[in-house]
Amino acid sequence: MAHRTDRSRIGGSNIWISRLGMGTSALGGLYQPVEEEKACATIRRALELEIRYFDTAPIYGLGNSEARLGQVLPNAPRDSFVIGTRVGRPIRTLAPGEINIKQAWLGTPPDKSWEFDFSYDRVMRSLDESLKRLKLDRVDILIIHDPDNDNLFQQAMSGAYPAVDKLRREGAIGAVGVGVDRVDILAKFAREADIDCFVLPGRYTLLNQTALDDLLPLCVRRNISILNAVVYQSGMLADPKPEAMVDYSPASVDYYKKALRIKQVCDRYQVPIKAAAMQFSLAHPAVAAVLNGARSIAELEENVKMFEYQIPDDLWKELKTEKLIPMEAPIPGEQGSMPSKGAQ
């Protein structure tokens, strides 16, 4: 069983992160506002729990997530945490009279919005802006954010990737990543660029194993670490019900029925479905960490509990027998399923 203090190396870099990382989109106000002091208290508690990796982006609350991390992290020893932020969706100031687009984050600055911009110069400026909000002199991992079609992939390869690669070669950052839910796009990056890690949202979970056949084996061969995100599939694997979300959208009936069957298996073993969802998503050799968000100390502590919950082997065997997960999918504790991990 994995422990939150276990460490994973990111690709071939010198960056080591905790196997349970903290996503901070919720702390930026995703779907509901979060008071600044509550957000900062949650970050401080994460440090106390030895969660080593914090994952953020300029778009998360239009700077609020980074700024809240910047209220806490500079007060901690720099070697006590690892931080990753993103480039490619920078914040911009609205023109006079311009109407702001609807934001998924609440409590954001009223005069700000965001745009796709993967150009070399804008990536460099975006990093500088992030560092000011974070009140840090460096980030450890810089992630190209959501190049989710072929056109944006080409823009990222011609602008953003040369920029982050230069920063890595100069030692300004420790590792380069890409985050997008298109497994085909990530596979193209794996083949055409020197990438240390991928943030993979919702494509290797108990509900969706799209990445299993091609992307994850490719990552193992190329020594690219997966940071597995959205492992509750936006809600359906936290509390299966017809109105629950999958991938930030209303779920299909098929997804609901499958999640309900998974929960029934978990209930027979008295295991929370959240624990099974999180631990399954960690078991593949390509996966270095799971990134779970929290908007409160209570949610954060529940994440730790689910991460370390004792799950009997028979639960995984039954999920396979019932064809709820593929027979070839690695499961926790299975010999050969886990990468070589350990303390830094």
For the stretch 159-181, pLDDT in tens is 999 999 999 999 999 999 999 99
Q: Higher-confidence residue: 298 or 334?
A: 298
Q: DSSP secondary structure string, 18-70?
A: ESEEEE-TGGGTBSS---HHHHHHHHHHHHHTT--EEE--TTTTTTHHHHHHH
pLDDT score of 335: 45
Residue 341 in domain: no
Mean pLDDT of 37-63: 97
pLDDT score of 333: 80
What CATH number does residue 226 fall under?
3.20.20.100
Residue 328 in domain: no
Using a pLDDT cut of 70, give the percent of the chain over it.
Answer: 97
pLDDT score of 291: 97
pLDDT score of 99: 79
8 Å CB contact between 47 and 72: yes
Residue 344 in domain: no
Residue 61 in domain: yes
The whole-angstrom separation of Cα 75 and Cα 71 is 8
Using a pLDDT cut of 90, give the percent of the chain over it.
Answer: 88
Q: Which residue in the list 60, 161, 204, 232 is annotated as catalytic? A: 60
pLDDT score of 4: 81
φ/ψ of 213, rounded to 5, equals -75, -40
pLDDT score of 152: 98
Q: What is the pLDDT of residues 143-154, one digit of tens each?
A: 999 999 999 999
Residue 32 in domain: yes
Average pLDDT, the chain: 94
8 Å CB contact between 62 and 34: no
Whether the predicted pLDDT of 10 surpasses 60: yes
8 Å CB contact between 276 and 262: yes
Q: What is the pLDDT of residues 92-143, one digit of tens each?
A: 999 998 877 767 899 999 899 999 999 999 999 999 999 999 999 999 999 9
Residue 336 in domain: no
Q: Is 60 a catalytic residue?
A: yes
Q: How many CB atoms lie within 10 A of CB 15?
A: 22
Structural domains of the chain, count? 1
Residue 342 in domain: no
8 Å CB contact between 106 and 29: yes
Model's pTM, two decimal places?
Answer: 0.94
* Domain carrying residue 56: 7-321
Residue 326 in domain: no
8 Å CB contact between 107 and 34: yes
